Structure 1
């Protein structure tokens, strides 16, 4: 269908669009990058599951190892020990962290990623120990047996991934 010239004769001469068509492509691109960045950061935080993690040190009367059952942990009569003179250090993603809060028997680390295999811990004791294990009281299992140095005062292990937010460090003198 073609238009006749007479069809648009009634249009006012000032009704024409004047100027350049402006396109804000740069702002659209910046907005998209900002939204994408926010989505990635939120997804990363949710995936890594950042939480405060507490480690409590306890002394047991019987030696425990990686294969010990929770009944053996209960039979070992593990009692809380004071943190005084002891030091617990955490490595999360390669960064060494000291505890944010230390009270009589626990160390608390803030904002630790629970869903990563890059978390490790080290405890330095004032007295020599024969065994040290890391236990999950919520799940009633022993998670790891720690490796010690020759003097038996420095113990460390990889904590592993998808752990709870509360651990017991069970020490046998």
Structure 2
């Protein structure tokens, strides 16, 4: 399967129904799912969800792979609104290269801002997920609202292009 985005140590490929067991394993891992929406452990349900996404072709749902083609995470672009996109379902496995988190964030922004030509991104992060909150703030994302559980962020292409230069060592 053709990669959608390539980094120095990872690449994205489109999710397949056969990835369902891997996805369920990540999403039900107690260390990884602290700040995620609840996911069923039923692999058949995940297969149906993947099949539906692929059939409807409205989201970009990727498996993050290392260069040996081993799956090491997931990431998704969805909730398209005029000139803005949301991204999430971002989970990196324990065995991933150390740079996989930063690389995958750069690649998802490159893909959405530079290939799909979106001008803005919107996303939410659980308030208790301090590591991810700090990550997005370092990238220059701004909180525009909050609720009891989440901070809601906005990020634009211009801010990304400025920060991208700082992290270019993670890109090919």
- For the pair shown, the structure with the greater C-alpha radius of gyration is 1
Give the TM-score taking structure 2 as reference length: 0.29
Q: Determine which structure has greater relative contact order: mean sequence separation of CA pairs < 8 Å that are 6+ residues apart, divided by chain length.
A: 1
Give the strand-richer structure, 1 or 2.
1
Q: TM-score, normalised by structure 1?
A: 0.29
